[in-house]
Amino acid sequence: MGPPAGGGQGGGMNTTGLILMLVVFFAFMVWPQMRRNKENKKFRAGIGKGDKVVLVSGIHGKIIEDSETTYTIETENQGRLKIEKSAVSMESTKAVYPKS
């Protein structure tokens, strides 16, 4: 008796398909997110004392103090808030204050 029909062949096609799926996943999901993270980091490095910002919570303010991990912002009614730098929304800030 000979070898079973169709046995042992075709495994390469499954591996190629899996690799192709992984490349597509990275191309559409991971790489764009890495690019956005890099843009956010560059944006946060470029803002500082005197710049107007919008937080992810929707609060608007002007940076009056800048430390290593936090900003102190002043709101419209002269209130002061100490916030994490990650709370600043790049998209909202650029939409509301395009020159910041």
CATH number at residue 57: 2.30.30.140
Q: Is residue 27 part of a domain?
A: yes
Q: Is residue 6 part of a domain?
A: no
Q: Which residue segment(s) compose the domain that 43 sits in?
A: 11-96
Q: Is residue 42 part of a domain?
A: yes
Q: Is residue 3 part of a domain?
A: no
- Given a cut of 90, is residue 85 above it in pLDDT? yes
Total structural domains within the chain: 1
Mean pLDDT of the chain: 87
Among 64, 51, 65, 55, smallest CA distance to 86 is for 55
What is the model's pTM?
Answer: 0.67
Q: Is residue 82 part of a domain?
A: yes
Which pLDDT score, from 0 to 100, does residue 72 have?
96
Q: Is residue 24 part of a domain?
A: yes
Q: Is residue 67 part of a domain?
A: yes
Neighbours of 7 (CB within 10 A): 7
Among 59, 56, 94, 86, smallest CA distance to 73 is for 59
Dump pLDDT digits (tens) for 38-84: 998 899 889 999 999 999 999 999 999 999 999 999 999 999 999 99
Which pLDDT score, from 0 to 100, does residue 52 have?
96
Q: Tokens standing for 77?
A: 């009614």
Share of the chain above pLDDT 90, in %: 56
